């Protein structure tokens, strides 16, 4: 605080001008009129001061003790605002801490838990509980619960109806203070053995004293650690190349489950040729088990047995694995319940035994309607005679209604071997031809270094002989020959040839039709390029040809498919077609070539047409060359 001014006790004289001392100023020379005006002004100021500061007793304050303070209005305003804001913050914090405890909210007091078995048997019914609890005095509103299931979980029921068809969302609404509720979900959990999956729950809510949403989450890991079924594979541990080997797949029920359909997927190496299966495999080479169905004796089976047989061909592989996978399908996904395999030791032999088809000892491509020129060659390279040999040739080919793509009735065979047909699957049929010493006398005794050769011819049916569209998913032919005989120890030996895989591409054909009008200069050729296809859909078709001579080419305004062009500089015609679907059997391109000036030495008008396409089923390239168009 500023000090109060002190007052002098000496009274103010009647003539203040004589008593009040004024500060000395530098005197300037003034005239008498100016001095008189100045004195009058000073007297006026003195009277005004006396009226303001003198007290009731007529005393004036001591002006030397009066403190004059300068004001700063902007600073005072800022300081006042700051002080006011601090007071408001203090009041807010005080209100928060002085608020009753039952009005505070904490996310930690909203509990979400999942309980249930962490290890399950695949395909069994399982129940999980999702508990949510509000452990505080603040009410929760707008609560909803979302659940994410493991991939192999099939929902069955819940104690509260879900809001959506996928049974993954529940609208809970309000959760009162201190309340606890529980959602119980039951379903069947599938999964591959030892596969770890997660069940996840999310609780979204809004406290009554909040304007925004909060979320709690819970996760439970679940492992499929057991299978209710077992699979074993038994069979030949050792075999010779060409010997028939049999393998047995056994499935046994070990525990109850909700599984109503199983699949066994057997597999074998490339140098193994399947000769039979019992029961027959499906078209995609599987066996199907329906555990809930009864057998012919009206008793439910708990064991299922399947068999397949075949032989190994010449290969640099000394072992071969025959395996099987037991699978179940749920939620459009495949889960492997269990698998097993058997490794077979494969021994070589001293017999040179080869199979050649159309001059090839390895895989190749063909088309329906094509020929198979087959040669079997045998050379005894051992030091022993081979006696009473039996020679077999087997071809597994696509079939429909027990009719195979291979036209066995039209076989050309000088030795007239015995033919037998076996249906392996719904879409795969085996044809086998056998020769013994009664058919080929040289098989009675094959001496050291002796050679035997057998030639036959088979044809493939075309679209005129069978419905090729019904074979759209089957396009492979497997060919393998074997020879059996008894050695010096009177033991039967089987030796297999090399295996050949024949890919049957679509039956794309091309024809160029030429209609000529006029002659000499101005001769017109109305040409039609015709594509025919009946087997597999095709894509990326391309036709190219060169033209010759002084000519003019007239193309149609629009092509039936794709794009057609004529390059006048190179005289090349191209026709590119993106696709030829199964529904389109024929595509034709008409165009006209006019001979402007004849050339006596010219013989060809259009070169050979080069046709290329890609088979969408086999993935193989088709490459054809058509005949020229002559003048």
240 in Cβ contact with 269 (< 8 Å): no
> Per-residue pLDDT for 296 more than 50?
no
Pairing of strands 371-380, 244-253: unpaired
> Per-residue pLDDT for 219 more than 80?
yes
* 359's tokens: 């001059």
- Which residues have a Cβ under 8 Å from the Cβ of 273 and sit 6 or more positions away? 310, 311, 313, 394, 396, 478, 480, 496, 499
Res 437: pLDDT: 96
Q: Of 243, 493, 242, nearest to 389 (Cα)?
A: 493
Res 273: pLDDT: 85
The 10s digit of each residue's pLDDT in 313-358 is: 877 788 999 999 999 887 777 888 889 999 998 877 678 888 999 9
The 10s digit of each residue's pLDDT in 438-451 is: 999 999 999 888 99
Q: pLDDT exceeding 70 applies to what percent of the chain?
A: 81
Chain-centroid distance of CA 456 in Å reads 46
Res 29: pLDDT: 45
392 in Cβ contact with 355 (< 8 Å): no
Stretch 79-96: mean pLDDT? 57
- Which residues have a Cβ under 8 Å from the Cβ of 89 and sit 6 or more positions away? none
Res 36: pLDDT: 59
- CATH number attached to the domain at 509-630: 2.60.40.1170
55 band by pLDDT with thresholds 50, 70 and 90: low
Res 59: pLDDT: 59
Q: How far apart are CA 362 and CA 501, in angstroms?
A: 7
The 10s digit of each residue's pLDDT in 512-528 is: 999 999 888 999 999 99
Could you give the dihedral angle defined by the CA atoms of residues 190, 192, 196 and 200, in that order, rounded to the nearest 10 degrees? -30
Please provide the average confidence, as pLDDT, over all residues in the chain.
83
The 10s digit of each residue's pLDDT in 458-494 is: 999 998 898 887 876 668 899 999 898 877 777 777 7
Backbone angles phi, psi at 31, to 5 degrees: -80, 170
Q: How far apart are CA 563 and CA 541, in angstroms?
A: 11
> Per-residue pLDDT for 580 more than 70?
yes
- What is this structure's pTM? 0.51
The 10s digit of each residue's pLDDT in 68-83 is: 444 455 556 656 666 6
Give the domain ranges of the chain. Answer: 16-64, 107-226, 229-347, 351-504, 509-630
- In the sheet where 610-615 sits, what is the strand order? 563-567, 572-580, 538-546, 610-615, 621-625
Mean pLDDT lowest among 32-41, 145-154, 341-350: 32-41
Res 211: pLDDT: 76
Res 10: pLDDT: 47
Q: How far apart are CA 503 and CA 370, in angstroms?
A: 12
Res 9: pLDDT: 43
So what CATH class is 229-347? Answer: mainly beta
Res 297: pLDDT: 43
Q: Of 148, 145, 174, nearest to 161 (Cα)?
A: 145
Neighbours of 55 (CB within 10 A): 9
100 band by pLDDT with thresholds 50, 70 and 90: very low
Per CATH, the homologous superfamily of domain 351-504 is: Immunoglobulins (2.60.40.10)
* 163's tokens: 């809001």
Q: How far apart are CA 210 and CA 144, in angstroms?
A: 16
Stretch 9-35: mean pLDDT? 47
> Which stretch of DSSP H or E encloses residue 610?
strand 610-615
3-class secondary structure per residue, 390-457: EEEEEEEEEEECCEECECHHHCEECCCCEEEEEEEECCEEEEEEEECCCCCHHHHEECCCCEEEEEEE
Res 454: pLDDT: 96
Mean pLDDT lowest among 55-59, 71-75, 414-418, 552-556: 71-75
**DSSP designation for 608:** P
Res 456: pLDDT: 97
Q: pLDDT exceeding 90 applies to what percent of the chain?
A: 47
Res 16: pLDDT: 44
Q: Of 126, 143, 240, nearest to 189 (Cα)?
A: 126
Position with higher pLDDT, 386 vs 101: 386
Query: 107-226 and 229-347: same fold?
Result: yes
Res 35: pLDDT: 58
CATH 2.60.200.20, applies to 107-226: no
The 10s digit of each residue's pLDDT in 585-607 is: 999 999 999 999 999 899 999 99
Q: How far apart are CA 268 and CA 262, in angstroms?
A: 20
The HSE-up count of residue 276 (CA atoms within 13 Å, CB side) is 11
The 10s digit of each residue's pLDDT in 362-418 is: 889 999 999 999 999 999 888 888 889 999 999 999 988 888 999 999 999 999 999
Stretch 112-129: mean pLDDT? 92
33 band by pLDDT with thresholds 50, 70 and 90: low
The 10s digit of each residue's pLDDT in 235-292 is: 988 887 777 888 999 999 988 888 888 999 999 998 888 888 889 888 788 999 988 7
Q: Of 425, 521, 431, nearest to 474 (Cα)?
A: 425
Res 496: pLDDT: 81
Stretch 132-147: mean pLDDT? 88
3-state secondary structure of 93: helix
The 10s digit of each residue's pLDDT in 152-198 is: 888 999 999 999 998 999 998 888 888 898 999 999 988 777 888 89
- Which residues have a Cβ under 8 Å from the Cβ of 312 and sit 6 or more positions away? 239, 241, 242, 243, 245, 269, 271, 272, 320, 344, 346, 496
> Per-residue pLDDT for 41 more than 70?
no
């Amino acid at each position: 605080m500023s000090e109060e001014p002190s007052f002098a006790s000496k009274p103010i004289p009647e003539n203040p001008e004589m008593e009040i001392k004024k500060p000395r100023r530098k005197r300037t020379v003034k005239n008498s009129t100016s001095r008189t005006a100045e004195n009058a002004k000073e007297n006026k100021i003195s009277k005004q001061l006396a009226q303001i500061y003198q007290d009731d007793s007529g005393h004036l304050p001591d002006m030397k003790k009066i403190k004059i303070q300068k004001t700063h209005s902007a600073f005072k305003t800022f300081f006042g605002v700051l002080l006011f804001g601090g007071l408001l913050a203090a009041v807010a914090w005080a209100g928060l801490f002085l608020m009753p405890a039952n009005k505070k909210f904490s996310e930690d007091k909203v509990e979400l838990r999942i309980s249930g078995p962490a290890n399950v048997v695949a395909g069994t019914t399982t129940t999980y509980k999702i508990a949510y609890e509000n452990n505080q005095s603040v009410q929760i509103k707008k609560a909803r619960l979302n659940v994410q299931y493991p991939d192999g979980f099939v929902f069955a029921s819940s104690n509260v109806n879900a809001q959506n068809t996928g049974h993954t969302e529940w609208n809970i609404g309000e959760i009162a203070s201190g309340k606890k509720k529980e959602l119980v979900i039951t379903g069947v959990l599938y999964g591959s053995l030892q596969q770890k999956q997660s069940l996840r729950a999310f609780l979204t809510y809004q406290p009554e004293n909040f304007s925004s949403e909060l979320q709690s989450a819970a996760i439970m890991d679940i492992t499929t650690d057991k299978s209710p079924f077992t699979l074993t594979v038994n069979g030949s541990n050792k075999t010779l190349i060409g010997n028939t080997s049999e393998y047995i797949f056994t499935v046994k029920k070990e525990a109850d489950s909700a599984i109503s359909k199983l699949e066994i997927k057997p597999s074998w190496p490339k140098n193994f040729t399947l000769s039979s299966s019992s029961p027959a495999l499906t078209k995609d080479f599987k066996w199907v088990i329906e555990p809930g169905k009864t057998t012919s004796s009206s008793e439910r089976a708990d064991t299922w047995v399947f068999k397949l047989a075949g032989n190994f061909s010449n290969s640099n592989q000394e072992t071969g694995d025959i395996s099987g996978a037991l699978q179940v399908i749920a939620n459009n996904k495949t889960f492997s319940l269990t698998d097993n395999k058997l490794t077979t030791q494969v021994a070589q032999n001293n017999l040179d035994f080869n199979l050649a088809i159309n001059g090839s000892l390895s895989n190749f491509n063909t088309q329906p309607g094509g020929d198979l020129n087959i040669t079997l060659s045998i050379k005894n390279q051992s030091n022993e005679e081979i006696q009473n040999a039996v020679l077999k040739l087997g071809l597994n080919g696509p079939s429909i209604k027990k009719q195979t793509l291979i036209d066995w009735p039209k076989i050309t065979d000088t030795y007239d071997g015995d033919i037998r047909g076996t249906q392996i699957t719904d879409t795969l049929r085996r044809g086998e031809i056998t020769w013994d010493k009664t058919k080929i006398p040289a098989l009675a005794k094959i001496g050291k270094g002796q050679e035997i050769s057998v030639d036959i011819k088979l044809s493939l049916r075309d679209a005129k002989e069978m419905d090729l569209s019904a074979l759209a998913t089957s396009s492979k032919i497997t060919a393998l020959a074997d020879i059996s005989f008894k050695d010096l120890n009177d033991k039967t030996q089987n030796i297999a040839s090399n295996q050949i895989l024949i890919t049957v591409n679509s039956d794309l054909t091309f024809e160029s039709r030429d209609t000529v009008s006029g002659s000499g200069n101005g001769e017109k050729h109305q040409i039609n390029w015709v594509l025919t296809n009946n087997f597999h859909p095709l894509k990326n078709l391309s036709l190219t040809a060169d033209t010759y001579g002084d000519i003019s080419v007239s193309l149609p305004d629009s092509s039936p498919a794709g794009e057609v062009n004529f390059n006048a500089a190179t005289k090349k015609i191209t026709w590119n077609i993106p696709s030829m679907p199964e529904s389109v059997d024929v595509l034709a391109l008409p165009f006209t070539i006019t001979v402007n000036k004849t050339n006596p030495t010219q013989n060809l008008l259009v070169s050979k047409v080069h046709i290329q396409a890609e088979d969408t089923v086999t993935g193989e390239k088709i490459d054809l060359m058509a005949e020229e168009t002559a003048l």
